[in-house]
Amino acid sequence: MSQAAPPAPLAFAAARPLSGAVTVPGDKSISHRSLMLSALAVGTSRIEGLLEGEDVHATAAAMRAMGATIGRDGDAWTVDGVGVGGLLQPDRALEMGNSGTSTRLLLGLVASHAITATFTGDASLSKRPMNRVIEPLSAMGAEFTPSPGGRLPLMVRGIVPAVPIEYRLPVASAQVKSAILLAGLNTPGITRVIEPVPTRDHSERMLRGFGATLDVEELPDGTRIIEITGEAELKPQHIVVPGDPSSAAFPVVAALLVPGSDVVVGNVGLNPTRAGLYTVLRMMGADITLEDERVVGGEPVADLRVRHSGLTGIEVPSEVVPSMVDEFPVLFVAAALASGRTVMRGLDELRVKESDRIAVMAEGLRAIGARVEELEDGLIVDGTGGAPLAGGATVAAHLDHRIAMSFAVAGLVSRAAVTIDDMAPVATSFPGFVELMTGLGAEVR
């Protein structure tokens, strides 16, 4: 896992125009859920395009430790599940590495099984809040022994039968929603999650796809009421995982910012609950066209053709935040090169990701010459109007893959190279990132 790897500094420097066609690795959110749901089906599932990143490996190791058989068949992964209710007592701590999604979703699964598990994580994950899942899962009957402040390491004792709950999400979080729905899978009766602001809906789509009874009602004000009927029987599936829009964001923004660039990023998942960045970039004047729009594995997918564009600052509508929550660090970089001011608010959740993404980006952007003002819940960026940033600094990644990749993109549009102190965290979500960027023409040393 990344906390054990030696720091891997790398410098990214002003690039010639980026060109070429690439594809990014599989969607991280869908990859986690593919392994978890396959492990709960009866029979053998097959997964193509699974993200082979450290976060997904953490999920795979945990599902194996709880009884699933996970193997390879050529490029595809195969999973032999234990059935809902069939998870086994793991004989060692479940090591979650850097992965919030693995931790929170698996806490949900364990909560309604008659097993006890200890969860550990790296220095970044051990700072992240778990009370947001501990609270609803405790109401279902699971017992938690967390570290102070509701952090990892923590122990959870699941319960059978768990008690179905109705829970209104206090934060817009697909991880909290999914933890409760996954706990609801092995809970008698109907478990209901009320989501005032829509978040990524991969869990809902995939639970249905695996044969669970799941109903979604949408109220006129946009609130979603999601009901899962428990003691479900899941049927094995053949899953094709689309490319991750959150990973595609880095080559897309790089191509928009580096003069003369013309790049195609193929096979990008564009589920509307994930595609906010692309809408916002187009509002700023980005030349992004969707080619060969199609449906892959129940998700909308397209190839993105991206040409260098002069961007204009905007006020980013706060209702799009959940659909691009992981893309703000790289949007901050785009805003730093735009003409005029970009105002981004409603980003409180960025403070509790792998790092405090508002503070860490503000500090690093200032160090390379960008003009930014940090708000409690956001960032105001005054862009250069396309002129390069000064660069010439080393920025800290803080065990955060998205910070490392965002500053890599910034290096490509800086007069002097930008050094990232540690690129190792990138392996959590985007193995091959450096090679992909080099292949497009990025200068990396």
Ligand X SMILES: C=C(OP(=O)(O)O)C(=O)O
Ligand Y SMILES: O=C(O)C1=C[C@@H](OP(=O)(O)O)[C@@H](O)[C@H](O)C1
Instruction: Cite the annotated binding site by residue number.
Output: 28-29, 33, 100, 128, 173, 175, 326, 353, 357, 402
Indicate whether 128 belongs to the interface with ligand Y (CB under 6 A). no
Let me know: does 109 contact 134? Beta carbons within 8 Å: no
β partners of residue 380: 343, 373
Let me know: does 235 contact 41? Beta carbons within 8 Å: yes
The whole-angstrom separation of Cα 288 and Cα 223 is 31
Q: Is-cis flag, bond preceding 153, omega within 30? A: yes
The whole-angstrom separation of Cα 35 and Cα 31 is 6
- Which of ligand Y, ligand X, none sits in contact with 173, Cβ below 5 to 8 A by type? ligand Y
CB of 178: closest distance to ligand Y in angstroms? 6
Footprint of ligand X on residues 356-395 (CB under 6 A)? none
- Amino acid type, 204: E
Please identify which residue in 29, 34, 38, 103 interacts with ligand Y, judged by CB under 6 A. 29
Q: Of 45-53, 67-75, 93-101, 212-220, which part binds ligand X (CB under 6 A)?
A: 93-101
CB of 429: closest distance to ligand X in angstroms? 5
Indicate whether 100 belongs to the interface with ligand X (CB under 6 A). yes
Nearest residue to ligand X, scored by beta-carbon proximity? 100
CB of 218: closest distance to ligand X in angstroms? 26
The whole-angstrom separation of Cα 156 and Cα 164 is 18
Q: Of 80-88, 158-166, 172-180, 285-293, which part binds ligand Y (CB under 6 A)?
A: 172-180
The whole-angstrom separation of Cα 314 and Cα 249 is 18
Please identify which residue in 2, 34, 38, 99 interacts with ligand X, judged by CB under 6 A. 99
The tally of CA atoms less than 13 A away on the side-chain side of residue 137 is 36
Q: Which is nearer to ligand Y, 79 or 133 (CB)?
A: 133
Q: Is-cis flag, bond preceding 161, omega within 30? A: yes
**Window 322-351: contact mask with ligand Y (x via CB under 6 A):** ---xx----------------------x--
Two tokens, residue 26? 């599989």
CB of 416: closest distance to ligand Y in angstroms? 32
Let me know: does 115 contact 82? Beta carbons within 8 Å: no
The whole-angstrom separation of Cα 234 and Cα 336 is 47
Q: Of 116-124, 174-182, 255-263, 291-299, which part binds ligand Y (CB under 6 A)?
A: 174-182
Please identify which residue in 57, 192, 200, 274 interacts with ligand Y, judged by CB under 6 A. 200
CB of 410: closest distance to ligand Y in angstroms? 21
Indicate whether 204 belongs to the interface with ligand Y (CB under 6 A). no
Query: SS3 of 317, please?
Result: coil
Let me know: does 291 contact 268? Beta carbons within 8 Å: no
Which of these, 107, 110, 112, 69, lies nearest to 89 by C-alpha position? Answer: 110
Q: Is 326 a catalytic residue?
A: yes
Summarize as ranges the residues that interact with ligand Y (CB under 6 A). Answer: 29, 101, 173-175, 178, 200, 325-326, 349
Q: Indicate which residues carry an active-site annotation.
A: 326
Summarize as ranges the residues that interact with ligand X (CB under 6 A). Answer: 55, 99-101, 326, 353-354, 402, 429
